[in-house]
Amino acid sequence: MKKIKIFLIAVFSVFIVSCESNTYSEISAPAVNPTYVANVEPIIRHNCLSCHFGTNQSPNLETYDGVKNACLNTNLICRIESESCGERMPLGGRLAQSDIDLIKLWTTEGFVKE
Ligand code: HEC
């Protein structure tokens, strides 16, 4: 009987620990030290490339350099954050606040690529 009790406690603790560590990584992974490859590129691909590809619509946001240049030279941050520099991007919508925060953090941390 005692053995079963200990076994149950052990199983239960493993369960609790694994739940906790999952929650922890879900919350902390995207927010700390975002990189272009892991974090920024997927947001741009899903929300911007339908218009900003090739010569279709300037700025071209298909590459790391294109996105970095747009942040430095064409007010990309201001465009995704407010209407004070022109129409808010993506045109006709808006990014989730967590995505806006992530791209801002990426720029202030120096545009880490990967
Ligand atoms: C539905 C099409 C469409 C989507 C999607 C879109 N844009 Fe745009 N974007 C435009 C158009 C059209 C312009 C030019 C007109 C203007 O400046 O408002 C533009 C202009 C811009 C500019 C200003 C360029 C300059 O030279 O001043 C930036 C920066 C920009 N977009 C970034 C983005 C970002 C970042 C996303 C995704 C979060 C995005 N856009 C999604 C159509 C789009």
- pLDDT tens-place string over residues 35-71: 999 999 999 999 999 999 999 999 999 999 999 999 9
Backbone angles phi, psi at 77, to 5 degrees: -65, -45
Asked if the model's pLDDT at residue 22 lies above 50, the reply is no
The residue-averaged pLDDT of 23-32 equals: 50
Measured from CB, residues less than 6 Å from any atom of ligand 1 are: 47-48, 50-52, 57-59, 70, 74-76, 79-80, 86-87, 89-92, 95
Those residues with Cβ within 8 angstroms of residue 35's Cβ, 6 or more apart along the chain or in another chain? 106, 112, 113, 114
Q: In the prediction, which pLDDT does 24 show? A: 47
Cβ pair 91, 14 in contact under 8 A:
no
Which amino acid is present at 66? G
Alpha-carbon distance 32 to 30, whole Å? Answer: 6
Mutation test residue for ligand 1: of 36, 51, 53, 81, the one with most atoms within 8 Å of CB:
51
- pLDDT tens-place string over residues 71-113: 999 999 999 999 999 999 999 999 999 999 999 999 999 999 9
Predicted confidence band of residue 26 (pLDDT cuts 50, 70, 90): very low
Q: In the prediction, which pLDDT does 32 show? A: 83
Cβ pair 59, 70 in contact under 8 A:
yes
CA 90 – ligand 1 centroid, Å: 6
Q: In the prediction, which pLDDT does 27 show? A: 45
